[in-house]
Chains A and B, each alone.
Chain A
Amino acid sequence: MKTRRWNSIINFVLAFFIASLLAYPQAGWAKEKLVLSTGSPYELGLIDAIGTPFEAKYNCKVDVVKAGSGKAIKLLREGKVDVIMVHAKKAEEKLVRDGYGVNRRLVAHNDFVIAGPKKDPARIKGSKDAAEAYGRIARSGSLFFSRGDNSGTHKKEMSIWKKAGIKPKGEWYKTTGKFMGATLKEASQGQGYFMTDRSTYIYLSKEIDLDILFEGDPSLVNHYHAIAVNPAKYPERNYELAVNFIGFITSPSGQKIIRDYGKKEFGKPLYSADAIASPQASSEPSGKVIIFNAGSLTIPLAQIEKEFEAKYPRVDVLREAAGSQKCARKITDLKKPCDIMASADYTVIDKLLIPVYAGWNIRFASNRLVLCYTDRSRYANEVNAQNWHEILGRKGVVWGHSDPNLDPCGYRALMVLQLAEKYYRIPGLYERLTANRPKENIRPKSVELVSLLQTGNMDYAWEYRSVAVQHELKFVELPDQINLGNYKYDNFYEQATVKVTGKKPGTFLTMKGKSCTYGVALVKNAPNANAAIAFLQYMLDPQGGLKVLQEMGQPPFIPCRVPTEVMKSSLPKTLQGLVEVRD
């Protein structure tokens, strides 16, 4: 009997042991872990609100070490955490300068308020600044609570005392050594003054009996920055996840969570999200801005980038040029990180990115087809907007366009010819002209034709206006009805159709005529939305990027256009002034 019982106990212990071994890896080891240290954002539940979607997105687990700013910074410095969210500007800057923290980004702000008994015994209401309010409290000997824990709040408090010229000491000055919420509750019980952040006050407003008696001093604004551990110092820490976390909380969706947090429970938000709404707030835009752009925007964007980087030296703009469709596929299919997508065809953004990968689409410039030549081309002194089609039909005139199968400029050139037949009412014009253009005059990319013109191997070539201007070629401008440059004529353009090769040899697609209208969008979850918006602000400025586009032959829309009021209101505030609502 006895042995059997022992057996069952041992079995039980063994089974428990094995079960826990089996369970443990699934619970803890299989997922990556992010160790985050912060104070009130955790206390007030913000980290839970952000952490849950973050954990789901990156299939990881977030562990929080609750610590005030001072302690959190110390933890990061010692390599005990991966990322911190703190508000202690000078200590943060020192941390970054010393090389322990990297990727410091502004996330949100709230402000400090001085809460106190409803009767306001020290009469701090109406003080002109926080130092004066503190002075009144000290002089009246009213009860004042301090955290005294070297946290960001405590440091802020001490700086105000210093400004007021007072060394706080005495019966009236209580040090709790506790966190914000706990100290606020103690102040409420003891009916004393306490400087709290507004978020905590809102969060606990139902449990405490204190009023906000002083607020609005600009020096009481409390900026929260996220800082990642420097992987060079602590390679064992999870830097990658830390950066993803910072990227997430500063992305449009992360910022929305912050902006909305508290609205439901307390009627007002606890924090103001900063990473996007105010790019020019205390943190200057910095870091990389990744732009995927259509090839035809490469030259103007290079110039805009140069000017922008001169203005914001801490931003590094990285451009990747490809066809517009390919750019979109890199975002939707390959999930490559990207902040801004600029397309040569604004409908690509409408069709492929909105609504999942972008929220809006600003039309900022147009382009059109022109017939390029040089002064040594045949009949160069005769050609004009009326007789160009007659000259292209003459014998001995060598003209060409790019390969319609490889380059949109190629099929667009053919569309212009088809539209010319309709517009000038000359039946058979298209057939006759293309018959006068041997296959040998077709090139893979339209820009290659430029060198053929310049070396005198070709007389006329179809190009985008921007290419003609950028290469200082002479060109014939065509009527809006046929130049594919005005989206008002999209209905007329639609009549032109060109067959191009499909996905495999022997199959074909039919391309329909459509205006060349450029669109730009901020990609959702942009890794560096803050700086990206600053870039867009410059790019869409009539005195900035739009001027460059004008000079480079890509006629800009001044101001830029969005189709609806709803879309306009969804733009970042700094961009709203740069666009008009227009069909």
Chain B
Amino acid sequence: MKREPFFWITISCGVVIMAFILLPLIQLMSAPSLGMLGETIRDKDVVRSIWLSIYTAGLAALISFLFGTPLSYLLARSDFRGKRLVEGIIDLPIAIPHPVVGIAILSVAGKNHWIGQILSELGVRIMGSVTGIVTVLTFVGLPFYLNATKAGFEGISPRLEKVSRSLGASMFSTFARITFPLAWRSMLIGIIMCCARAISEFGAVVIVAYHPMIAPVLIYERFEAYGLKYSQPVAVWLVSISLILFLLLRILTLHKVKEE
């Protein structure tokens, strides 16, 4: 069978893109020696920062899940005036340069702003605190969660919900028993996307919190103070650990689907 030229174009473009993504990463992963990697992971600062990265990104995803799910449901199900505007606002954090995000959050959190004053009276500190890091990560991760789940909700026929409602179920129990079981996969994808975005954030975090250090900030600090040689192993650990986490999540979801 003779293939059309278009087929070969698709194949070669695919190969180029795979190489483009993988080559630098492979180079990064293979640069540090095993000894160096071992030494790095025994470094308490490194472990602490990677753990902090995962933990804050997870919190950001959890917050996105709690507050974002109702909103994305609303956006998927109803049409109202200004919906486009709301959608536009949701996408804003993707478009703003990262350091600007950090500066914006700091300027609200400072004593020169009434919100900052209330926070300081409540004893909540944003600058240089875990709270601050989670705030920033939620800010940048939220759009990814919202967009993924909205698409998921839109893929479920409203008829199913209407049937449930006509049989007497309340709005909440319809959501919990019909919509959620059908949409939870897209929500999980949303969480993964949100986490992934949050774990890779650097520019905004370094402005709000240098200490305590999340992994990307530590990588930057190591790079500035010691050079590439000592920042690479930390990067390798961060990349591998995130990769394993995300793979696990994906595998888990696939298995569940098959069982069903």
Contact = CB atoms under 8 A, between A and B. Distances in A.
Interface of A: 376, 403, 405-406, 438-444, 448, 451-452, 454-458, 501, 503-505
A378 to B, nearest CB: 9
Interface string B215-253: 000001110111001100000000000000000000000
B215 to A, nearest CB: 15
A455 B107 contact: yes
Contacts of A501: 225-226
Nearest to B226: A504
A405 B128 CA distance: 18
Contact of A406 (B127, B212, B225): B225
Given A456-B116, A504-B226, A505-B230, A440 B211 contact: yes
Contacts of A440: 127-129, 209-212
B206 interface: yes
A451 B230 contact: no
B207 interface: yes
B148 interface: no
B27 interface: no
B43 to A, nearest CB: 7
A86 B128 CA distance: 66
Given A376-B112, A455-B112, A456-B116, A442 B211 contact: yes
Contacts of A444: 206, 210, 220-221, 224
Interface of B: 43, 103, 106-107, 109-113, 116, 126-129, 206-207, 209-212, 220-222, 224-226, 229-230
Contacts of A456: 110-113, 116
Contacts of B116: 455-457
12 contacts: A403-B210, A405-B221, A405-B225, A406-B221, A438-B128, A440-B127, A444-B210, A456-B110, A457-B111, A458-B127, A501-B226, A504-B226
Contact of B128 (A403, A441, A455, A504): A441
- 7 cross-chain pairs, A with B, having the tightest CB-CB distances, nearest first: A440-B128, A456-B111, A456-B110, A455-B110, A456-B112, A457-B127, A439-B211
Contacts of A448: 207
A505 to B, nearest CB: 6
Contacts of B212: 439-440
Contact of B226 (A403, A442, A455, A505): A505
Contacts of B211: 439-440, 442
A104 B111 CA distance: 60
A451 B106 contact: yes
Contacts of A406: 221, 224-225
A416 B112 CA distance: 29
A440 B211 CA distance: 5
A363 to B, nearest CB: 29
Contacts of B224: 406, 444
Given A451-B207, A457-B127, A501-B226, 8 more contacts: A452-B106, A455-B107, A456-B112, A456-B113, A457-B106, A458-B127, A504-B226, A505-B43
A73 B110 CA distance: 69
A503 B222 CA distance: 10
A451 B110 CA distance: 10
A412 B216 CA distance: 27
A451 B103 contact: yes
Nearest to B229: A504
Q: Which of B106, B109, B210 has the most CB of A within 10 A?
A: B210
Contacts of B229: 504
Contacts of B207: 448, 451
Contacts of A403: 210, 221
Nearest to B126: A457
A500 to B, nearest CB: 8
A376 B207 CA distance: 21
Contacts of B110: 452, 455-457
A57 to B, nearest CB: 31
Contacts of B221: 403, 405-406, 444
B230 to A, nearest CB: 6
A403 B128 CA distance: 14
Nearest to B210: A443
Nearest to B132: A440
B222 A376 contact: no
Contacts of B43: 505
A438 B127 CA distance: 12
Contacts of A458: 127
A452 B103 CA distance: 9
A452 B107 CA distance: 8
Contacts of B129: 440
A440 B133 CA distance: 12
A293 to B, nearest CB: 19
A456 B113 CA distance: 8
Contacts of A454: 112
Nearest to A507: B226
A452 B129 CA distance: 14
B100 to A, nearest CB: 12
A441 B211 CA distance: 8
Given A406-B221, A438-B128, A444-B224, A376 B111 contact: yes
A457 B109 contact: yes
A37 B8 CA distance: 57
A504 B211 CA distance: 20
Contacts of B127: 440, 452, 457-458
A416 B147 CA distance: 52
A369 B31 CA distance: 41
Contacts of B226: 501, 503-505
B107 A505 contact: no
Nearest to A406: B224
Nearest to A407: B224
A227 B10 CA distance: 53
A405 B225 CA distance: 6
Nearest to A398: B127
A458 B126 CA distance: 11
Contacts of A457: 106, 109-111, 116, 126-127
Contacts of A451: 103, 106, 207
A314 to B, nearest CB: 37
B146 to A, nearest CB: 28
A376 B111 CA distance: 8
B211 to A, nearest CB: 4
Contacts of A438: 128
Contacts of A503: 226
Nearest to A444: B210
B225 A455 contact: no
